[in-house]
A and B are shown apart, each in its own frame.
Chain A
Amino acid sequence: MLAMDYRGPRRVRAAQKPMPEIKHPQDAIVRVTRACICGSDLHLYNGNVPDTRVGTTFGHEFTGIVEEVGPEVTKVKVGDHVLVPFNVACGECHFCKQGMFGNCHESNTQASAVGGIFGYSHTAGGYNGGQAEYARVPYANVGPTVIPAGMDPDDAVLLTDVVPTGYQAAEMAGIQPGDTVVVFGAGPIGIMAARCAWLFGAGRVIVIDQVDYRLEFARNYAKCEAYNFNEMADPVVFIKKTTDFMGADVCIDAVGAEASGNAMQTITGRKLLLQAGSATAIHWAVNSVKKGGVVSIVGVYGPTDNLVPIGNVLNKGLTIRANQTSVKRLLPRLIEHVQNGIINPKALITHRIPLEEVADGYRIFSDKLDSCIKTVLISPSAKI
């Protein structure tokens, strides 16, 4: 089968690989119909995530048609068109039982801090991802969810990560009616977090980024204010001024390790890998939020250390909330929102690229070429 094949930092190609096999009684094999490139795939693509082995297939956002199931699979059957949450979750462990499907304890042998994630290095379990014609989906009774009749597959594929992660960013922020919410990052997650902030009653939503076309997209899609930090002397002072020098009630980091905007963070975090990525967005969030406010982190960082102003977290009495998204827990509500037209996920998709041209897709998405917001890879076997 054809699959994305990682060869080293900023080098990927489409290559022939062996078909995935049932390795566990709760496994399913799906024929992939849609697979996205996620902003967090860029951390892998740039070689920043330890134990990303050459030959790995990335892709944790995908949909597919069930082709084969193991003997213990009862919740999906051959022929079902399913969306696959990015978490590999058993549904039975201490954490899954609490709805923390992003923190499953039975899906990752290589690390204790993170549960299994499709196509996200051996640090996240060593699973191949969905940027392929076929994928192995463990715990098929838990994760894969049948796409409701009538739902566009383009909407469904964004329910595997982008929509739930944006939603959980707003949910973890504990937004109260009238709150001012600042979202750092105008990528797909940041845009979705800004959109979802309104669902929790925000009174004002501000997005900060440096890419003008994305800021314009955020204004139109999320009906929010959007500002370019390159046009302000200091984004923290800008936010203080625009909130009567109080600070925002809530700040959301929707950037993660690839952040720009601070030379020291960029050099030590992204270029020299002395930190687990550049922590500029967290830095700005901590310093921009009001005393007693909430910082919600969904941007992904590596497993080592980051330079963050922890003293200000203490001095300001902040609450920091962060987690990998519990996609399974949020899906019922979000499917409702999509079906009712409250959230329109597929509007984020700007590029549809054949799997054979995966290297071009990564370059376009990584370097923000051709006004790219979200890229979907279409496998030659998709047939939908």
Chain B
Amino acid sequence: MENTAKDPGLLPGWGIDADPKNDPTYPMRHRMNVGQDPDSKHRPTLQLVDEEVLKSIERQNVSAVFGTPLPPHGLSGAIRRWAFKYSESVYPHWLPLLLADRVDMVEGVLADLVHGHVPNIFAERGAKMDWKYNRSGFIAKLATVSLLTAGAIVLLSSKDEKKPSKKHRRCQA
């Protein structure tokens, strides 16, 4: 059967119990009939699209203004472009964007190095504040990381010792 627009006012009983005061939405919603609102097609002056802006496929158009910095670039940009093929209601949109953020982080470190800047990760993480205000916690964290690292090294090296070499296996055979 064909889907055709219907006039709901022709349905028996349409609107007989309507109570505009019983509206839990907030702020109180003025239900503007877009078709009847003379201003409904009006848009603010449009910002010139002079660089790549990714657009949600749930939108009809680029918004009248938008942020300008950081257009997509590199591998992270390619992942972001792919993500924007999908709607905001599915994981293939959001999970690649999170992945792109992590790739972007690596690209950021590489860009720093290319420009001769070695990022001071200790300072960027504000770690001296931890040392200043949470010294015991800082030391505990450091000790935990050191222990885990040492444990991992011991575990890996002991596995290597137990594992017979190919040459040794050949001799046994």
Contact = CB atoms under 8 A, between A and B. Distances in A.
Contacts of B65: 23-24, 26-27, 88, 90, 106-107, 116, 138-139
A52 to B, nearest CB: 6
Nearest to B106: A8
Interface in A45-92: 47, 50-57, 72, 88, 90, 92
Contact of A47 (B32, B63, B101, B134): B101
A359 B126 contact: yes
A94 B32 contact: yes
Interface of B is mostly: loop
Interface string A1-22: 0000001111111000000000
B55 to A, nearest CB: 5
Contacts of A139: 44, 65
Interface residues of A, number: 70
B117 to A, nearest CB: 10
Given A106-B65, A359-B123, A51 B80 contact: yes
Contact of A364 (B91, B124, B126): B126
B70 interface: yes
A72 B63 CA distance: 18
B24 interface: yes
Interface stretch (A28-36, A261-269, A319-327): A319-327
A12 B62 CA distance: 30
A246 to B, nearest CB: 22
B129 A364 contact: yes
Interface residues of B, number: 60
B30 A109 contact: no
25 contacts: A7-B109, A8-B105, A8-B108, A11-B124, A13-B120, A13-B124, A23-B48, A47-B102, A54-B70, A54-B107, A56-B69, A92-B44, A94-B34, A99-B27, A106-B63, A107-B66, A109-B66, A116-B65, A122-B54, A125-B66, A126-B68, A128-B69, A302-B94, A303-B88, A363-B129
Interface of B: 24, 26-27, 29-30, 32, 34, 39-40, 42-45, 47-48, 53-56, 58-59, 62-70, 76, 80, 84, 88, 91, 94, 97-98, 100-102, 104-105, 107-109, 119-121, 123-130, 132-134
